[in-house]
Every structure is written in structure tokens, then in C-alpha cells.
Structure 1
């Protein structure tokens, strides 16, 4: 009887020791872990990787009611954009035609028509990428580039596709499409922000018309180890032995041939360089597809990761993590992951080793941010050139939590794309 009293504690102690021993083996030899993963483990990893359509989804929804008043629809208990996107997958016999090009008046007339919803990408995507989000219904369309989808709420026979570049408008006629699901989403309990869609520096921009209250967040972060990425990116059947070199805060792993992985322990950033020959295609569909494949190689959860920007000059694709429908900006303006095709023999991927995973209730109350026009006026009064501002975006700033390395504070702010880089509005104002 006395022995049985200690049986369970002894068994638990042995189990913990065995678990720790196995963990040490995996941590110290990531290559073995990579090669010995079971099909079930690989399957679990792949389930985190969302299909391409999840990553290349619109990031903002603006509703224009029948009276012409506009509101940004904000995620709360439900992802509004995802719900709206589900309503555009049953178009029957769609046909596309050029409706207008170069006319700002026509462009805004279509974009701001009463009784419509506008779904927006941050920068244009190709029709083949958009096609992923409409149930493959647009597969026969020319591969135009577009970044806005206009969904009439009272006309089931047509939708419109817009490209800000050149103020292009395409009309898509459909023989059959139910508006029931779309209008049902609009009756859901959601937060709305008064807005207006108009020109800024000759580019379309969604203005926030009033002060807006946004909730700060505290997140538990997912801190991936360097070994995890070594095993995913450098260790495969074709790779050579992996060597490591350390220089102060930087560790560089290489396979002695064409792959290199660099980690900065101070910034918690990683850079993967691939010097193997690539197809070096410059069309947008190929670049975005190749970028998504690189993104998937990381093996990270993509639940809240979205396409945020594509620079056609450098072929750099930027992705950001979104919280409650708003993007996260780190101190240096960086997002979550970026990929770049440099030339036919070099590709690069920059990524963070820390990413927000689980929200924790914050004791901070809502913060009040000024309207768009107020932000622009204050910046101009502080000496910033209005013409040098290309974009302005509500978002969250990444700040390390002082109480724990596993926590991060996400504070709402305006972010301004000024002279080729994203800056916090608060920091811009504090510089003078």
C-alpha cells in the first residue's frame, strides 16, 4: 500500500525526464528532427499553412449605404472581410468588359455608388490572384491588375473591379447571383467608422472622418527557435552539412553551397538567402505565387497574416499580421515577412522570430486617434511635406512588454508612408 502511494509521482517524474531528454536531442540536432519527422507530424505542420487565397485576401471593407454615407466595417467577434468574401463565390457565367479608364469622375462615381460594398487590396493584384477568392469563376478573364471590388447590394447582375493606377474600371456582368448572403452580413452586429473615399495626392484614399477609438492589446508571442528554421530551410536531402558562424549578435548558418540563414538575436529577425537559380519571372502573378511558396516554407501559422504591399521596382512582397482588421507595424516599419527576387540567382526572405499568438486582456482603456485630415494638417504644421506622404493607415505599433519577454504590447496609432518608409504618426510629431 505504501509503495502504491508513490507509484504515480514516480511515474510522472520518469515521464518528465524522458520528455526533457528527447527535447534536448531535438534542440541540439535539428537536422535529425527534420529527417525523422513522421507523416503525421508533417501533416500537422502543413495544416497551419493556409491556402493562397487566405493570404491574398482584401484587407478592408467600406460600406456605402443608400443615402451615400460611408463607413469602414471593422472586425470584432467576426472577420467582416472574410464573411463578405464568402458571398462572392457563386457568380454564374461572368463576362468582363472595360468600363472606363483615366476618368477620375467615373472611377469615384462607381466606387462611391449608394448601396454598395468596396473590398480593397492594399496594392493591385493580378486577376489570377483575385480568381482564388471568387471560386475560380474569373479563370477565363484577361489577367488585368485590380485592387478594389465594388459589390452592389441591390443589383445582382453586375460587380465592378477597379485599379487605382490609371483610374481603371472593369464591369463584370453575371447571369445569376444571390445578394441574400451579402445583405445578411451587413445586418450583423459590427463596429463602423465614418469614412469617405476620395483623392489624396492624386491617389484614392479612404479617409476617417471623425476621431476613432481603438483598443490597445497585449499578446503572448510565439518565439520560434533558430533550430526550427534551420531544420525547415537548410536541412533536406540535397543540402550539405550545415555550419554556423557567430559575430556578436549575429549567427550565420550555411550549407556550404547556395543557402544561407542569418539571425540577429538583438532584433529577433531572420534572413534567408537562396542563391540557387530561379526563373526570375517579373510578371505580378509569378512574383506573388513564388513569394507565397517562400512564405509557406517557414511553416508558420498564417491565420492572421495578409499580403500588404508589392514594390514592382524591387519585386519585394510584404506581409503583415493583422489584429482586429488592422496591420501591425514594428519599430523599423517592418511587417511580419518580406520576400524579394533580386535576380535570376538570388532570392531573399526577411522574417521575425516573434509573432503575436494569443491575446491577453489589457488594462488600458481605448485610445482616441484623430481624423485623417487632422493628422495630415498637424504633420504639415510640423514641417512635413504633404506631397511626400504617399499613404496613411490605421494600425498597431509593436512594443516589447517590460514585464515579460513572452509578451508584446500593441498600441494603436496612425502610420504614415513618408519618403519611402512607414513611420508612426506619434513619433513623427515627437521629433519636433
Structure 2
């Protein structure tokens, strides 16, 4: 399998004499104060609480007020980890502040802060509850402070104070919810990105497995085509040779020559298949031209001696090389089946017709086409491998968008008939 292509980023060449930029270094204190650092978040919340408490004590240096200020500021340190506890504590302290004191101080900041905290880090129900508490405080607090500070506060003062405090609470809530929605969107996008990556990796693995399966199937088909036929020819010649030696000793040399030539050709084709499998390391003289073609069909038929005859009509040069490979493999497999299944006395007729746009191949024998042996030439692949050749032939023809039929003839014998385009070469496997 060729290694998957990996995209690379080409950087522009650096000008001579220009030093490479140094990597940015972040101070440890700056990294600590980032929002993604747990300790940094805690330090920031503690700084907010301390600053707010100091401001409240300075504004009103009164012991009960100082105690309430501390009660409202300390929960702000834990507003992210325990937003509910912070809301309850700040609400109780703010309520006491409204009852005991006459001036608004840190409560106008602490309450919006905890509302923001629940809106950002808690559920929608908790955030709405915090908003309701904050709005109630925005109404009750200003009403209490105005009634104490002014003898007859005007309606405009009431409205301005309530609307102003309520606007701060609502703004804190909206900012918190928007931040939460943005974070949820980023998490969702990251999850979807991870799922897409997993899906892409899974699809890539499936594609690699499919490619590997296709290659194994192709190798099995090529090896079957060349080895099965060659061994069948060798077996027939050897069996005939045993009888021929006794009756015609002078022909033994001819038979041995056929066996040797067939063995040598099968070995050469097997080496070419192995070389094709090593195409990821091609040499400078790598040759991927088809190993066999229509011109080799005559030699293929001649190996069977008088048991097969060939008739070619039309212009063989009009065929594409890969179509010629397919024709050769069809004839090869068909003759192999004749040797294996049609019987020792069977004869075969091979007819190849090339027209302007298509090629017709017909291989017919007069053997036991309707007898028991014909079942070994069906489409079903048996455990011993019978039927593999016809399946491979049909697959080869389908790669050319052609058709193939095979079956016993009515008067006896077996026929293979294939029609494929003469020029269609895409997808066909070379031999």
C-alpha cells in the first residue's frame, strides 16, 4: 500500500542576515493570571473580594457595617466553585445591610457579581432565580434607602434609582449568559470537530482496508489465471506424454518442450505479478505494460495441440491493450476449464470478433456440458475453489462495462460468451 499523502506547508525563504524570531516567553505571573488557570481564577476572585471589602470599610468605617461587608465579600472568592452558596450568603448579608444601614455600599456590586456568576457557571433555572433575587434587591434596597434619606422622595427619584440598580443586575445576568453560551458553543464545536476527525480517521481506515482487500483480490485473480491454466496444460501434456512415450518415443521430446515452455512462461508471469506488487519501489526501468494480450492467444491455443482451434475476425489492432488482456484471460480461463472439466476427448472452438466498437469472445467445447462435471464450471465458488475462474472472468468484463454469460449448451458441451467495448480501458486490470 502506498503511504498516505501528507500535506506540507512551505515557508518562504528567510532573507540572508535576518535572524530567526525568538519564541515568545510568557512570564509565570502572566500565565498564572490567565482565566484558564485555576489558581489564576482564584487569585483574581480573591483580589476582587479584598478590593471591594477595603473600599466598603473605607467608605463607612463602622463595625457592624464592616462585618456585613466581609460577609458579602468573602463568598465572592468561591463564586465559581459554589455559586449557589455565594448567592445565599450575599443575599442574606445584603438584606441585613438594607435593614441595619441607611446607605448603599458594597451590596450594589456584590449582588450583580453573584448574579453574573450563576448566569455563567450554573444552570438556567439557577441563573433565573439569581436574576429574580437581584431584581428584588434592586427594588427593595433603593426604596429603603430613599425613604430614610429623603423625607418625601419624588417619583422620579424612585424610578431613577430602581431602574439604575435593576439595569446593573440585568446587565450582569446578560453578560454571564452570553459568556456561557459562547463557551458552550466552543465546546460543541470542539466536540463536533473531534467527531469529524474520528469519522474521517474511521473512513480512512475503511478505505485502506478496502484498498488492501481489492489488492489481495486482484493478486488472487492474477495468480489463479496464470497458475491454474499453466498447471492444467502441464498436467494434460504429462498425462498424454506417458502414453505417447510407449507408442511414439520420437514425440516425447516435443511434449517435454511444451511442458518446459509452459512452466517457464508461468514463472515469468508470476514474477511480473510479484513485480507489480512492488510498484511502490519502482526501478528506473519499471515497465507496466500489459504482460499478455490478443497476440498471445494463438500461442495459448497452440499449447493444447489439436484440442482447440482459434478463429479471429476483424482488426485486432482496434482493441485497447487492456481489452486485449481481458480477452486473453477469458480464453485462458475457458480453456483451463475445458482441460479440467470437459473430459480428455473434448475439443474447443475459440472465436474472437473485433468490430469498430466492441469485441466478442466465444469459447465453446463439445465435452460434458450437461453432465456432472459441468457443475464445476458454475458461478458458485466451492470450498475447493471451483467457480473462482468464472467469477474472476465476470469481474474482469464488468470492469469494461461488458457482459459475460457461461453455461452448458443444449446439445452438450459448455460455452463462455463475452462482449466488451474495444476501446474502454478504465478500471481494467492488467495482467
TM-score, scaled relative to structure 1: 0.21
Q: Which has the higher helix share?
A: 2
Q: Which has the larger radius of gyration?
A: 2
Name which structure has the greater RCO, CA cutoff 8 Å, separation 6+: 1
Normalising to structure 2: TM-score of the pair?
0.21
